[in-house]
């Protein structure tokens, strides 16, 4: 049973909690830093940036800070 859960986790999209601090990482380089997660949908994660407003970014392109 644990092997099936592990394999399923490899193909699932990351889940972010509102208020988490994130960086936008695309193709190995950091595009934006120190954003705050506002919410998550099927289309991506809504992130508010300290400079530049808010944007919807695919969950696979975000990394949690700290």
Domains and CATH numbers, the chain: 2-64 (2.30.30)
**What tens digit of pLDDT does each residue of 15-48 get?**
999 999 999 999 999 999 999 999 999 899 999 9
pLDDT of residue 10: 84
Record the pTM: 0.79
Distances (CA, A) of 55 to 30, 52, 64: 15, 9, 16
Is 1's pLDDT higher than 80?
no
pLDDT of residue 36: 97
């Amino acid at each position: 049973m644990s092997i099936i859960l592990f394999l399923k986790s490899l193909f699932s999209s990351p889940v972010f909690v509102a208020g988490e601090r994130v960086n936008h990482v695309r193709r190995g380089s950091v595009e934006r830093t120190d954003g705050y997660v506002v919410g998550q949908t099927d289309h991506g994660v809504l992130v508010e940036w300290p400079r530049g407003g808010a944007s919807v970014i695919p969950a696979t392109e975000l990394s949690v800070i700290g």
